[in-house]
Amino acid sequence: MQRIPVGRSGGTPGNRPPVLLQHGILMDGITWLLLPPEQSLAFVLSDNGYDVWIANSRGTKYSKGHKSLSPKDPAYWDWSWDELVAYDLPATFQYIYDQTGQKLHYVGHSQGTLIALAALSKDQLLNMLRSAALLCPIAYMGQMTSPLAKNAADNFIAEAVYWLGLSEFDPRGDAVVNLLKDICSKPGIDCTNLLTSFTGQNCCLNSSIVNIFLDHEPQPSATKNMVHLAQMIRQGTIKMYDYIDEVENMKHYGQATPPAYNMTSIPNDFPVFLSYGGEDALSDVNDVKLLLGSLKDHDGDKLVVQYRYDYAHADYVMAENAKQDVYDPLIAFFRLQ
């Protein structure tokens, strides 16, 4: 985890409201620092008087440590986003809360929204959380349009034994490169622009920002995590990891099928800012509408929904106009909480 305790104008560390930034899948904390300082969300928040904390999910460049395991050990990668919900996110919140003595604001992008929604549905974190801003919210994934992600999800079921033999999902490794080659050779799949094929048609990226992105990303994840996401895509549900075998599910959950995360259990009076894009191929508009349907009883003054018709998945962290279009309204929302 990294911290920006004060902005460029200075100020006193420690008495500013803390904000935790949580990146998405195959990314790391650099997500929030890709744009110039006056446009990157981490710096914009800091310059607006917030104490900024940047999380890095396990297995990524700045978060590879472990008490007893190394990334070469299969057990190191034996996790999915369920473990991020159950262990990593609460531990991160607790650390920041203990350091600052204040409740946190939270910003998640992509998988960073998924783990927050899942935690909130379990009544976790609420005693340490002031509000949450969810960019490209992921809860349901059954209607996503990304040809790359949909084909990868099909591959994960067809090659389950092969993939589970590879515990680390390294986007730069031979196995994943070969998977991409296989997907890109299929009729109707255009991989001339991999980013677009994965995220949708982003409106507002410039080439220099994309080059900075490619210098740092993508980052590894656990193959088990990717299989879990693939299950969500195929089934259109938000459940815990399915071991497929009923005996294994019984061992882990005490029931034959994995438990669901119930989005209607999110407290109606909890402040949520939710922004989604019309061109997003991962956080599809129809899937977001399913989530909003689950939140239909939310207090009207506690749920702010923003729709950016021209935004896709990467625009939310790399668009030249993201500060004006998304970050400024997000900060205005935080100030009301």
Contacts of 175 (CB under 8 A, 6+ apart): 166
Given the residues 46, 57, 110, 275, select the one marked as catalytic: 110
Assess whether 110 carries a catalytic annotation: yes
Closest by Cα among 124, 122, 145, 120 to 134: 120
Given the residues 280, 284, 287, 315, select the one marked as catalytic: 280
Label residue 116 left, alpha or beta by phi (over 0 means left) and psi (-120 to 50 means alpha): alpha
d(C-alpha 57, C-alpha 81), whole Å:
10
HEC states along 123-144?
CCCHHHEEEEEEECCCCCCCCC
Given the residues 80, 283, 313, 315, select the one marked as catalytic: 313
Assess whether 280 carries a catalytic annotation: yes
d(C-alpha 84, C-alpha 88), whole Å:
5
Assess whether 40 carries a catalytic annotation: no
DSSP code for 323: I
Distances (CA, A) of 305 to 92, 148, 192, 238: 26, 28, 33, 21
Residues marked active site are found at 110, 280, 313
